[in-house]
Amino acid sequence: MSTKPNILIITTDQQHYNAVSALGNPNLKTPGINRIYNDGTIYTNAYTTNPVCGPSRSSLLTGRMPCETGVYNNGMKLRHGIPHIGQWFTKRGYTSVFAGKWHLRENWASDINGFDTIMTGINIQANSSDTGVTSSVEAYLRNYNDDKPFLMMAMYVQPHDICGFVNYFTNEQDMLYEIPEDELPELPPNFNYDFPEPDKFLKFKNRIPSSRGNWDEKKWRYYLWHYYRYVEGVDCEISRLLDVLDDTGLSENTIVVFLSDHGENTANHRTTLKTTFYNESCKIPMAIYNPFCKSEHTFSKPVSIMDVFPTICDYANIGLPEKLTGKSLYGSQPDRKGVLIENYGGRGRAYVTEKYKYIAFNDDDQPQLFNLTADPYEQKNIINDAEYKNIMIELSSCMEKEFNSLDIAECIPEDARW
């Protein structure tokens, strides 16, 4: 029997960083995710590299920024020559298994190089696909008798189905049933706000029905209520997976990594879906359960979705690929000031520290600077405040230096280069 740990990576799609009842959110119950949070390390300032499905997943799989993987938007394939998690672990003695949403160019692939693919091909209709993911993983693990350790990726779709809700229910008459008033979540403090915003964000808002003025406040609260039900749905699947680990005894030697690929705007800044640079879209829920060190810890320094790859490599003690941009969270804290985010096909960039967020665009669109400690809901853009001029210069310099150090993919369009 192998002395190396098994590793189970569980991802949800479009889950708000605070949509976990263990964090005190009263609008939902997530007993499955809570099991990971209650006995694991919680990363309270975890960020995606891009608040869009394909680019963020490319970072999770490779430990690199989307501008390095070549996946700067949805519907693209990984850059040739960059190993992904499955390939790296398989070549180093692991059985690598994949189930769920892949969402790169091989979107409906049944054969993913480096993985034993037991279920994939469904990108939407999570009520059926997520159940299938769990059933496939359960069957695999209950019959697992290999001497090699496994790396299992279970990548769920929910609560991504909120996209369907937003696009289908366009006005009050579309509501099919009443929800008691006292069950409807309250709107966030920054639902009504007033400050100039980047044109790219405003164009995004104008494309989605929820932001065109068709929804009154009750409709917005209906949307939030449904969103939390989608999260509870995927939590049921996560509970089933954890039960399988317990039933088979695999939980004694299996490290569980839980995270989402990006967030959901959840009515903050009067917006739904993702794509924005605001925390609701860019921050993600993330926790790691280590059976060899059971106890709740919180880690407040900024971390990135691309840190998962080097972290699990260190847990498995199998070495790291060259040129990784992500940093290992195993053992000591990573030496970094902030994390990088890109968006809008690479035309927008952000740099986030524990206290500040700086946002810039390559076409002189409206830049933004937020003091996340004093203004956690990002309601005041302080980019032009003289008091913060040196902070802005410092963050801009850090962001430029770190992006300039990256191995940018040749396929990045010219108008997305800086």
Q: Which two tokens stand for residue 402?
A: 């770190």
d(CA 169, CA 362): 35
Q: Does 182 fall in a domain? A: no
Max CA pair span of the chain: 64
Q: What is the pLDDT of residue 214?
A: 72
Q: What is the pLDDT of residue 124?
A: 59
Q: Does 200 fall in a domain? A: no
**% pLDDT > 90, the chain:** 72
Q: Does 414 fall in a domain? A: no
Q: What is the pLDDT of residue 109?
A: 60
Range of 43's domain?
Answer: 6-164+218-337
CB of 358 closer than 8 Å to CB of 395? yes
Say which CATH number the domain at 249 has. 3.40.720.10
d(CA 63, CA 309): 5
d(CA 160, CA 125): 9
Cα torsion 405, 409, 410, 413: sign = negative
How many structural domains compose the chain? 1
Beta strands in 195-338 (DSSP E): 254-260, 283-284, 286-289, 297-299, 303-304
**pLDDT-based confidence at residue 106 (cuts at 50, 70, 90):** low
Mean pLDDT to the nearest integer, 121-143: 83
Q: Does 411 fall in a domain? A: no
Q: What is the pLDDT of residue 203?
A: 87
Q: Does 247 fall in a domain? A: yes
* Exposure b/e, 159-186, CB count within 10 A at least 16 = b: bbbbbebbeebeeeeeeeeeeeeeebbe
Backbone dihedral region for residue 172 (phi beyond 0: left; psi -120 to 50: alpha; all else: beta): alpha
40-71 pLDDT tens trace: 999 999 999 999 999 999 999 999 999 999 99
Q: What is the pLDDT of residue 342?
A: 97
CB of 326 closer than 8 Å to CB of 314? no
Mean pLDDT to the nearest integer, 184-198: 91
Q: Which two tokens stand for residue 110?
A: 């049944």
334-362 pLDDT tens trace: 778 999 999 998 899 999 999 999 999 99
**Is the pLDDT score of 206 beyond 80?**
yes
Q: Does 388 fall in a domain? A: no
**Is the pLDDT score of 172 beyond 70?**
no
Q: What is the pLDDT of residue 210?
A: 76
286-320 pLDDT tens trace: 999 999 887 778 999 999 999 999 999 999 999 99
Please tell me the pTM assigned to this model: 0.94
Mean pLDDT to the nearest integer, 9-24: 97
Q: What is the mean pLDDT of the chain?
A: 91
**3 state SS of 160:** coil
**Is the pLDDT score of 107 beyond 70?**
no
Q: Does 392 fall in a domain? A: no
Q: Does 369 fall in a domain? A: no
